[in-house]
């Protein structure tokens, strides 16, 4: 014996669709009520450049000082950016720190190697390394 497929009339299909829609909406709203956005996300913290990393960049600056002086301040600024990019490629924390705060290189080099920083500023003909790093 062959069974006949159930045939719902139009009103039953509409009622089923409406109740299914109501269930989906209620479960969705209930999920939002539990999670919500009641608190704000934590504020990002500034990455810290290690002392060893700052000593490394100070060494790079000291080693390039003569070359930068010979090529002049305009081209030396481009070369300086290249040196900083190389350093930050090798130290991703330094890369994140510079992206977060361009003045961090000024702060850390003035603490670790003020003489090298002063010589670099003189060769680049700028008052702050941050000025050159704005193109970073």
Q: Which residue has the higher pLDDT, 24 or 93?
A: 93
Calculate what percentage of the chain has a pLDDT beyond 90.
Answer: 61
Q: Evaluate if residue 53 carries a pLDDT over 60.
A: yes
Residue 6's pLDDT band, with cuts at 50, 70 and 90, is low
Q: Evaluate if residue 5 carries a pLDDT over 60.
A: no
Write 41-45 long-range contacts (CB < 8 A, 24+).
Answer: 44/100
Structural domain includes residue 31:
no
pLDDT at 134: 84
CA separation (Å) from 28 to 15, 21, 39?
20, 11, 20
If one counts the domains in the chain, the total is: 1
Structural domain includes residue 124:
yes
For residue 80, what are its two tokens? 């300086």
Structural domain includes residue 58:
yes
Give Cβ neighbours of residue 134 (< 8 Å, ≥ 6 apart): 102
Give the domain range for residue 81: 52-133
Helix ranges (H only) for the chain are 10-35, 51-71, 73-90, 92-100, 104-112, 114-124, 129-133
Structural domain includes residue 1:
no
Q: Evaluate if residue 57 carries a pLDDT over 90.
A: yes
Structural domain includes residue 92:
yes
Q: Could you tell me the sign of the dihedral formed by the alpha carbons of 86, 92, 96, 101, in that order? A: negative
Torsion angle in degrees (nearest 10) through CA of 20, 21, 26, 31: 100
Structural domain includes residue 43:
no
Q: 9: helix, coil or strand?
A: coil
């Amino acid at each position: 014996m062959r069974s006949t497929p159930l045939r719902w009339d139009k009103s039953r299909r509409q009622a089923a669709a409406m109740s299914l829609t109501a269930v989906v909406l209620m479960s969705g709203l209930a999920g939002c009520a539990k999670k919500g956005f009641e608190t704000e996300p934590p504020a990002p913290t500034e990455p810290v450049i290690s002392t060893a990393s700052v000593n490394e960049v100070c060494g790079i600056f000291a080693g390039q000082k003569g070359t930068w002086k010979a090529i002049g301040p305009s081209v030396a600024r481009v070369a300086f950016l290249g040196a900083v990019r190389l350093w930050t490629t090798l130290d991703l924390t330094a890369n994140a720190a510079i992206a977060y705060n361009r003045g961090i290189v000024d702060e850390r080099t003035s603490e670790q190697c003020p003489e090298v920083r002063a010589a670099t500023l003189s060769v680049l003909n700028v008052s702050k390394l941050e000025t050159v790093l704005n193109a970073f």
